[in-house]
Amino acid sequence: MSLFNVYPLYDVTPTRAQDVYVCDDNGTKYLDLYGGHAVISIGHSHPDYVSAITEQVEKLGFYSNSVKNPIQLELAEKLGSLSGCNDYQLFMCNSGAEANENALKLASFHTGKSKILAFKNSFHGRTSAAVAATDNSKIVAPINAQQVVDFVDLGDLEAVESILKKDRTCSVIIECIQGVGGLDQSCSEFYQGLEALCKAYNTVLIADEVQSGFGRTGDFFAFQKHNISPDIISIAKGMGNGFPVGGILINPTIEASYGLLGTTFGGNHLACVATLAVLEVLKNENLMQNASEMSQYILEKAKDLPKLKTVKGRGLMIGLEFDFPVSEMRKQLIFKHHIFTGSAKNPNLIRILPPLTVQKPHIDTLFNALITELRTHE
């Protein structure tokens, strides 16, 4: 059987990884400033993470959600306290798209309405309602058109209000920092205004923290910088440090009832211990503080970089925007300098999404490589 060929692949085959480094089958070591698409939060193969999963699988790898699972309760408790979202309720699933799918569905149940409001350049996943709320017509199939979505410019509160006042919109879904779209963000007044409009028009505010959550921005969640309280927060990626896990945090104003949401694999024992290990390491190793400090260091280094137009994003979710398309330079970074970075919808932008354990010497390595490449580019 062949693989369904949907991914253009780089000719690299990773076989091992440790902290911020990935090793391929030829023994070449790569500096991972991409984190497998913002997934690696506490570093590859962190010993506490490895032993937590190993010990759990020896005891019990899986049982369904029809019996008690005290590890889910422990996780809800620790996630609430580290994130500062103690009042919220936790529902677990398996991926970012699934988290948003559940968030959108719950918003529709809660309000009895069916339209979605999303923002231009958004990315929320590839499943039904999540992909409909994603601003990329290439990945939206005709079957997804059953979801009616209004797309509005990020920052345009007037446009938001003109739609919400028609009283047909169940939810507004937003990435406070757009990931795939290219690290754009708006100001606190906008996010606070959005929260107020959602309240005024009985619309559920969903913060998609799939990429920006779990400490990546230096705060536990990106929305926290703006002092808002979304009704639902969707999480995945950094949550499991590579273990497939996602979830939604649900404000207490939204009530649960049996059967409202459900999943076979979501919240299984392995996913829970993986996430618990991530939370412990985030806290014990002060990784959110490290994310802020390393971000500051990147900003300082970027000041001296030629041909750089601007720096976007926050924390360790940074976009370096140049005045030329960067795909060739990213190839040189991988094959000549052995550094993984990320792309974005914006062809001139390199995305830096390293493990939150990254240190100054790693960042120096990136900037030295960039300076070499920018010289040859002249």
Q: Is 275 in the site for ligand PLP (CB under 6 A)?
A: no
| Contact between residue 119 and residue 182 where contact means Cβ atoms under 8 Å apart | no
> Phi first, then psi: what are they for 323, rounded to 5°?
-100, 25
Q: Exactly one of 35, 36, 43, 125 binds ligand PLP (CB under 6 A); which one?
A: 125
- In the complex with ligand PLP, the residue whose CB is nearer, 185 or 301, is 185
- In the complex with ligand PLP, the residue whose CB is nearer, 56 or 95, is 95
Binding string, 212-251, against ligand PLP, x = CB under 6 A? Answer: ------------------------x---------------
Please state, as a whole number, how many other Cβ atoms lie within 10 Å of the Cβ of residue 137. Answer: 6
Tell me the residue number closest to ligand PLP, measured at CB.
96
Q: Exactly one of 43, 179, 213, 315 binds ligand PLP (CB under 6 A); which one?
A: 179
Which candidate, 256, 217, 218, places its Cα nearest to that of 88? 256
- Contact region with ligand PLP (CB under 6 A), list: 60-68, 89-97, 182-190, 286-294: 89-97
Residues near 357 by beta carbon (within 8 Å), at least 6 away in sequence? 19, 20, 42, 43, 285, 287, 290
- Contact region with ligand PLP (CB under 6 A), list: 62-70, 81-89, 117-125, 281-289: 117-125
Binding string, 157-176, against ligand PLP, x = CB under 6 A? Answer: ------------------x-
Q: Exactly one of 210, 281, 320, 356 binds ligand PLP (CB under 6 A); which one?
A: 210
- Contact region with ligand PLP (CB under 6 A), list: 112-120, 205-213, 221-229, 363-371: 205-213
Can you give the three-state secondary structure of 66-96, one letter per residue? CCCCHHHHHHHHHHHHHHCCCCCEEEEECCH
Q: Output the smallest distance, CB 193 to ligand PLP, in A.
A: 21
Please state, as a whole number, how many other Cβ atoms lie within 10 Å of the Cβ of residue 193. Answer: 18
Q: Exactly one of 20, 176, 180, 298 binds ligand PLP (CB under 6 A); which one?
A: 180
Q: Is 271 in the site for ligand PLP (CB under 6 A)?
A: no
CA distance 76 to 249: 9
CA end-to-end span of the chain: 46
DSSP output for 128-165: HHHHHTSS-GGG--GGGGGS-EEEE-TT-HHHHHHHHT
Tokens 């076979």 belong to 264
Q: Is 147 in the site for ligand PLP (CB under 6 A)?
A: no
Which candidate, 320, 127, 123, places its Cα nearest to that of 212? 123
Give the footprint of ligand PLP on residues 27-66 (CB under 6 A).
37
Q: Output the smallest distance, CB 285 to ligand PLP, in A.
A: 24
Give the footprint of ligand PLP on residues 317-336 (CB under 6 A).
none
Q: Output the smallest distance, CB 238 to ligand PLP, in A.
A: 11
Alpha-carbon distances of 337 from 16, 28, 356, rounded to whole Å = 18, 11, 21
Provide the β-strand partners of residue 116. 149, 171
State the number of binding residues for ligand PLP (CB under 6 A): 15
Tokens 């190839």 belong to 331
Q: Exactly one of 150, 184, 195, 208 binds ligand PLP (CB under 6 A); which one?
A: 208
Both tokens assigned to 366: 């990136």
Q: Exactly one of 123, 201, 214, 243 binds ligand PLP (CB under 6 A); which one?
A: 123
Tokens 């997934």 belong to 39
Calculated CA dihedral for residues 341, 343, 346, 350, nearest 10 degrees: 10
Q: Is 96 in the site for ligand PLP (CB under 6 A)?
A: yes
CA distance 342 to 143: 30
- In the complex with ligand PLP, the residue whose CB is nearer, 184 or 208, is 208
Question: Which residues contact ligand PLP (rule: CB under 6 A)?
Answer: 37, 95-97, 100, 123-125, 175, 179-180, 208, 210-211, 236
